[in-house]
A and B are shown apart, each in its own frame.
Chain A
Amino acid sequence: MMNSMNNIKEVEDLVNKTVKVLKTENIDKNQIAFEIEKLEVHRLLTVLKNTGWIQLSYLSAIDWPDENKFEVVYIVFNWEKPVYIQVRTKIDRGNPVMESILPIFPGAKYYEREAHEFFGIAFPGNPDYEKQLILENWDDIPPLRKDFDPSAYSARKFPSREYPQDFSVKDPNNKTLEKTEERKKRAKALRVGGKKQ
């Protein structure tokens, strides 16, 4: 598709002309990603909207606890030149504030509310961003942060069923399975340098 490759090229030129791009990822013939500075997001989105990327497809965030950052993602789309543009920017995780893009894309209203609810990112400029949307009476850290463990939360709040019947046939002298378990535990403790896949 010659045409769509041209589109990608065009987008790349346009974005590079507008803002300083930290990182570009060519994903496929209909999609390209740019990582830019936080302060330039609004400028880029305004330019893109005026050039035809009129649809805000998605807005959300990613948690990178190792870098102590949140990454905010905006995906915009142009129906005439079919290129999805991911605009990503990293913001501080300790004090996550991102100016709302409500003046550019009014459709972002609920996406921002959701991002606030699930990550705790503040969106000044969005009048309702602090209201609860999906959760109700939430009493823990925002659930999509990586340090939130839903398993533990669930175990704490919602007991699991303990079935009376067991189906096991046990011989108290037969310790093979227990031993296997213990061995596994031991070996697990020995694993050191490996990085979690």
Chain B
Amino acid sequence: MKEMKLFLGPQHPGMHGNASVHMFVDGDIIKRSYLLPGMLHRGFEKQMERKLWVNNIALIPRVCVPEPDINEMSFAIATEKLLKLEIPERAHWIRMIILELARISAHLMAYGGIGGPTGNYTLMYHAQLDRNLILDIFEKITGARVYHQYIVIGGVRQDLPVGITKEILEFVNDLESRLVEYRDLGIDNASMIMRIKDTIMLPKEVVWELGVTGIGMRSAVGKAYDIRKVAPYARYDQVEFEVPTSSYSDARARLDIKIKEVQQSINIIKQCIEKMPEGPVRVKPGRGQSMRWTVPKGHVYAPIESSRGEFGYYMVSNGGTTPWRVGVRGASYPQGLLGIEKYLPGTRIDDAALWVDTMGICAPEIDR
């Protein structure tokens, strides 16, 4: 049969974000496929070079929309490394709470997201409802639902509002008790198993070839390769958590890990709230008004573990008021571009969207 050409996206309900998977199919089997990125290109790296260090706070969360806090964190860490700035202890813990809440929200979005391609909308609706609660908590802490601009150079922008820790605890306990429902609807659901078991495999051997990190990699190699464990930042070395792994990477394994990571994040949040000290939350990177802050010369790469894998900012400072060069290593770059080119062929049309969901592909961070 003749090869037929199909587009999954950019305007396509199975595609999360504005990207397009171009597929050449024979029947239902994909023969060749590419990701067409760039629909969300805003020239981020150029924009950041042209904005002051302080102004970049407004810009950075927009690199990856579903999980903006990792951008802020990575940017802040990179700048602090250049400045050799020690930030207050409490700020570390607040940052961890924020990051883990963001991780839960991103996982819920991705986990609920498989409701789209598999048609199980109830799963999606429930996950989005819980995610919305996290956004409400974020709004209380930071003043905005999505673009928090909360983790800044030198700590966090302001202290946690009074009583929010209780609210967070209530929420995570409630979510913890309902995780089993997510399993019921998703990975323990017999009809869903048909879709997610043994599909869109990521063989162990090719992980390093692609450069995939995060859940994709951990589900294949079976080792706890998590930056939070391997090269801890913030205070991840002072909390106890496990890194769920698997050595057989199909969609089911990856989704299972996602739910397990949500559990681990809940554990981390609980520990953070318990261990968080009182004290100041922010130090200024230097004297002077913010528009005249400068950062010493240097090159630094600041990787952190996002919900999709290693996310990092490569920053070069020239000693001026603006960064000289900011490079963003989008966590989904390898699986999004090379992964789709190399490992989607051979699967079915139905599975393409699942690859996007389970591997964690965030179009804006590929395009920037």
Contact = CB atoms under 8 A, between A and B. Distances in A.
Main secondary structure of the interface of B (DSSP, over half): mixed
A127 to B, nearest CB: 12
A60 B327 contact: yes
B303 A57 contact: yes
B208 A54 contact: yes
B336 to A, nearest CB: 9
> Interface range on chain A: under 10, 10 to 19, 20 to 34, or 35 or more?
35 or more
Contact of B38 (A55, A111, A136): A136
Contacts of A133: 37-38
A55 B213 contact: yes
Contacts of A196: 320
> Interface range on chain B: under 10, 10 to 19, 20 to 34, or 35 or more?
35 or more
Nearest to B293: A197
Interface string B309-323: 010101010011100
B301 A31 contact: yes
Contact of B299 (A28, A77, A88): A88
B209 A86 contact: no
B303 A27 contact: no
A60 B325 CA distance: 10
A91 interface: no
B325 A63 contact: yes
A82 B213 CA distance: 14
Interface stretch (B44-52, B109-117, B183-191, B254-262): B44-52
A55 B208 contact: yes
Nearest to B334: A107
Contacts of B143: none
Most buried by A among B37, B50, B327: B327
Given A25-B298, A25-B299, A143-B43, A58 B327 contact: yes
3 pairs of A and B residues whose beta carbons are closest in the complex: A107-B211, A134-B38, A82-B231
Interface of B: 37-38, 41, 43, 45-47, 50, 81, 208-211, 213, 223, 225, 230-231, 292, 294, 298-301, 303, 310, 312, 314, 316, 319-321, 324-325, 327, 329, 333-334, 337-338, 367
Given A60-B314, A150-B50, 15 more contacts: A4-B231, A55-B211, A58-B327, A75-B312, A82-B231, A84-B303, A107-B338, A109-B338, A136-B38, A143-B43, A144-B45, A144-B46, A148-B46, A197-B292, A197-B320
